[in-house]
Amino acid sequence: MSWPVAHFTTGGTWMNDPNGLVHRDGVWHLFMQHNPDGDDWGSIGWGHATSRDLVTWRWEGHALPATPDEMAFSGCVVSDRLDTAGFARDDDGPAGPMVAVFTSHHASSSPRAGTETQSLAVSHDEGRTFARWAGNPVIDVGRQDSRDPQVRWDPGAGHWRMALADPRGRRVELWTSRDLRAWRQVSTFGPHGSVEGQWECPDLVRVPVAGGDSTAWVLLVNVDRGGPTGGGSATQYVVGEFDGTTFTAAHDDTRWLDRGHDHYAAVTFADAPDGRAVSLGWAGSWLYARDLRGEPWGATMTLARDLELVPESPGAEVRSLADLVVRSVPVLPAGPLPGLAVHRVRVARAERRELVLHARPDPALRLGLRVEGGPAERLLVVDRARCAPAAVPPEHHRAAVALPDRDVDLLVVADAGVVEVFADEGRIALTEQVTRRAVLSELAG
């Protein structure tokens, strides 16, 4: 058995959504939903890991634990450089304190049982420990489902902006605050696109437009039980306009950041350098995540990905924001990393191709990659029937996505337990969990 080398995992303890993604002083911080007491969902708080290259990660410990009255559900971390919340201490440094804005999921013992509220916690030791603010909650709308705040500082407006999910309403609420404590709702977006499942983990982010200095607004919305592969968990995105108060979609169609079975809860890092929009997701699916108990680890995070906006086809004229789609460029090590396999393949426009990604020395463990069909209807098919974990139902062994009528490059990245496939310069991505018994490192065909 091998362990993943470029996909973060907590090992034998439960992990799901990435939380609190933030860049500070050259360090990338990853928090995540984590149960330190076992390999199943429960007693959820926040674990913490750090990286200097977005590839190799160091475990820092369990930073924000559950209490008898509440679990700490998903949220974000901001660097309060201007001390807007008044939490700063002399030893915080120029980046200010780390403030976690998270969802309190209240237990039956809580006076707020049956609701979810938004809360603050503060760290003065670079995220190793957090203390809940005594004035919580900062938002209480009285609903059973209200969660996953994602907060960014708007320097032009001089306030914080929050995207908050109304899961059952399939809406994203936008809120503003000057001090992280008192919040005001200013608009609502949705429903839009995929509305079969509940909406979670929204993120309103500026994404660079490739080939220039401009950016455009993209809203990430994670949809549980409404994805493109048999109704699983997935991340949709909406390109649009944001006027500081209201987000307006530029298109009506549903667009997916990843069309595999195992990509969910993707959000971006706050304060990423050089204007980058860097996303990270959970390489898991709620359709079978809890059935993976007994495996050496339940799931990993995905690779970090630089998001860019590009024309739907290379060289196409861009007449409006609707003509731009998101390209995902995985962050890979600068050189070879033992245990990580990276393959690049070019498939010609009229070519049919069958590739096999297999383990060594056991070629029976294999993932099929096929380009099927003719010029008018080409498909990229990823088939994990011979390498999926035993708990994955057969109806979720195969993922397929339409390919454009042109030459296409494939990038295949295989680590222990997970394979990510990128096509058409990253316009297409598919993430699949695979066997933990060996790395599918060899590509043939």
pLDDT at 1: 73
Active site residue 17: yes
Q: Active-site residue among 17, 148, 224, 383?
A: 17
pLDDT at 332: 99
CB 246 within 8 A of CB 187: yes
Burial 64-88 (b: 16+ CB within 10 A, else e): bbbeeebbbbbbbbbbbbeebbebb
pLDDT at 445: 87
Cα 162–Cα 163–Cα 169 angle in degrees, nearest 5 = 140
Note the pLDDT tens digit of each residue in 64-83. Answer: 999 999 999 999 999 999 99
Give the mean pLDDT of the chain.
97
Cα 346–Cα 350–Cα 353 angle in degrees, nearest 5 = 55
Instruction: Give the DSSP letter of residue 321.
Output: G
Alpha-carbon distance values, 364 to 188, 343, 358, 371, 385 (Å): 51, 19, 7, 21, 11
Q: Give me the mean pLDDT over the 98-127 stretch.
A: 98
Question: Any idea where the domains of the chain sit in the sequence?
Answer: 14-316+319-328, 338-444
- Highest-confidence range of 275-279, 357-361, 375-379, by mean pLDDT? 275-279
Q: Give me the mean pLDDT over the 20-49 stretch.
A: 98
pLDDT at 90: 96
* Res 403 pLDDT > 80: yes
Q: Give me the mean pLDDT over the 341-369 stretch.
A: 94
Q: How confident is the model at residue 444 (pLDDT cuts 50, 70, 90)?
A: very high
How many other CB atoms are there within 10 angstroms of residue 122's CB atom?
20
Note the pLDDT tens digit of each residue in 253-289. Answer: 999 999 999 999 999 999 999 999 999 999 999 999 9
* Res 377 pLDDT > 90: no
* Res 376 pLDDT > 80: no
Q: Which CATH code is given to the segment(s) 14-316+319-328? A: 2.115.10.20
Is-above-0.75 flag for pTM?
A: yes
Q: How confident is the model at residue 374 (pLDDT cuts 50, 70, 90)?
A: confident
Strand pairing partners for 185?
175
Pick the CATH number of 338-444 from 2.60.120.10, 1.10.150.20, 2.60.120.560, 3.40.109.10: 2.60.120.560
Q: Give me the mean pLDDT over the 227-243 stretch.
A: 96
Nearest partner of 391 among 265, 286, 300, 259, judged by Cα: 286
